[in-house]
């Protein structure tokens, strides 16, 4: 059984196709009523039930958004089996693996929102759930593969910051080194078998040079250059093939089966967003910072395009934004929010997410993440 929201006695909160608030809740705070009317003017109306006047916020208003709009936390959270559970979900939950960058750990969360497995690590930005059940992830300056019984079966260490990793079909592991600007392919033994240099020998690209990167099925590499606010595709020799502007600083980029590129941007310009571009760089789909009702995008980090066309996005809530928005958001192609997840007690900032209850082999390129 998933977590359920329990209203404070004076709030009278009901969650169904709509959210209703008894006007008694406004007695001590007239500003609250005005704030809600301003924020939700497009889908708010008053109803009368059993002689009690209520404010109804129609479908599309999430509980998380309502909490943010009210500026308070009027809920306690309970689970059927654990009254101390802290996760809050709207919509149908997923089982997923994720990386908590600020919390220094990776974990697996059940569909009911409970953490079922976790492993302490460094500042992890990229994570993969492999077909064998293991997790592959970066550790700040390295990459590691861990079994479910927490045995290390692959490890690569570097002097450079690392924000990208990927298990390839040939069994090698792709690694993106930020400071050195190197794109590497590493054998299971730890031997580097291929290297692409994006910077001159000896030059330090700095903390902002590179974030997520992927090796593509055509042999090229898709790289997010956060500080330059651009995504580039390179060939196997390091030559630029195509470049896409990414205002706000790209953190992740995915090449989709249709040839489009899905990009998540951070907060360099305070305009966090997720957008999809075609081969010519034209934006054909976009979720802007304040476009989703009641949800603010803080810093968009991880991404996954699901087989049904929905997009799961990790809303990284660092840089002073802890606890101010849901960690994960799933939207349809029409940008309807169908799932949100947050657990600010168990985790701080989710930088990478992979949904585990949808089909697809990550090594064969069937997981677009």
Domains within the chain, CATH numbers bracketed: 4-78 (no CATH), 88-355 (2.130.10.10)
3-state secondary structure of 26: helix
pLDDT of res. 61: 47
Residue range 75-91: mean pLDDT, rounded: 55
CA–CA separation, 162 and 175 (whole Å): 7
pLDDT attached to residue 37:
55
Q: Is the pLDDT of residue 51 over 50?
A: no
Asked whether residue 206 carries a pLDDT value surpassing 50, the answer given is yes
Report the chain's mean pLDDT, rounded to a whole number. Answer: 84
Enter the DSSP assignment of 34.
H
Q: Please state the φ and ψ torsions of residue 53, each to the nearest 5 degrees.
A: -85, 130
How does residue 344 score in pLDDT terms, banded at 50, 70 and 90?
very high
For 250-291, the pLDDT digits (tens) are: 999 999 999 999 999 999 988 899 999 999 999 999 999 999
Average pLDDT on 326-335 reads 97
How do residues 155-178 score in pLDDT, each as one tens digit?
999 999 999 999 999 999 999 999
Closest CA to 342 of 83, 20, 98, 125: 98
| pLDDT tops 90 at residue 311 | yes
Give the pLDDT score at 270: 86
pLDDT on residue 38:
52
The stretch 324-345 carries a mean pLDDT of: 95
pLDDT above 50 for 42: no
Could you tell me the pLDDT band of residue 336, with boundaries at 50, 70 and 90?
very high
Global confidence as pTM: 0.78
pLDDT at position 339: 97
Q: How far apart are CA 366 and CA 358, in angstroms?
A: 10
Backbone angles phi, psi at 149, to 5 degrees: -95, 15
d(CA 129, CA 106): 11
């Amino acid at each position: 059984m998933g977590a359920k929201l329990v209203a404070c006695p004076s709030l009278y909160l009901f969650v169904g196709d709509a959210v209703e608030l008894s006007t008694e809740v406004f007695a001590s705070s007239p500003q609250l009523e005005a704030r809600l009317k301003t924020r939700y003017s497009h889908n708010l109306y008053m109803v009368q039930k059993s002689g009690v006047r209520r404010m109804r916020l129609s479908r599309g208003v999430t509980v998380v958004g309502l909490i943010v709009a009210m500026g308070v936390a009027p809920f306690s959270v309970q689970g059927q089996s654990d009254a101390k559970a802290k996760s809050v979900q709207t919509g149908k939950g997923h089982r997923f693996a994720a990386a908590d960058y600020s919390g220094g750990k990776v974990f697996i969360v059940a569909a009911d929102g409970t953490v079922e497995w976790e492993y302490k690590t460094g500042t992890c930005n990229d994570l993969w759930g492999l077909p064998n059940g293991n997790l592959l992830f970066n550790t700040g300056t390295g990459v590691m593969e861990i079994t479910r019984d927490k045995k290390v079966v692959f490890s690569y260490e570097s002097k450079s910051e690392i924000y990208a990793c990927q298990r390839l079909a040939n069994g090698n592991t792709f690694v993106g080194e930020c400071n050195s600007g190197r794109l590497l392919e590493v054998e299971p033994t730890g031997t580097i078998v291929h290297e692409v240099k994006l910077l001159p020998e000896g030059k330090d690209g700095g903390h902002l040079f590179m974030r997520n990167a992927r090796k593509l099925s055509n042999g090229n590499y898709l790289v997010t250059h956060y500080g330059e606010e651009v995504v580039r595709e390179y060939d196997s020799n390091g030559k630029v093939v195509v470049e896409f502007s990414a205002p706000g600083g790209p953190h992740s980029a995915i090449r989709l089966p249709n040839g489009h590129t899905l990009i998540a941007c951070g907060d360099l310009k305070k305009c966090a967003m997720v957008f999809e571009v075609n081969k010519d760089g034209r934006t054909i789909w976009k979720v802007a910072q304040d476009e989703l009702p009641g949800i603010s995008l803080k810093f968009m980090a991880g991404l996954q395009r699901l087989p049904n066309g929905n997009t799961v996005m990790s809303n990284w809530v660092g840089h002073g934004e802890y606890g101010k928005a849901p960690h994960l958001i799933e939207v349809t192609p029409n940008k309807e929010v169908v799932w949100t997840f947050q657990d600010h007690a168990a985790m701080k900032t989710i930088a990478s997410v992979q949904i585990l209850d949808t089909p697809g082999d990550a090594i064969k390129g069937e997981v677009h993440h």
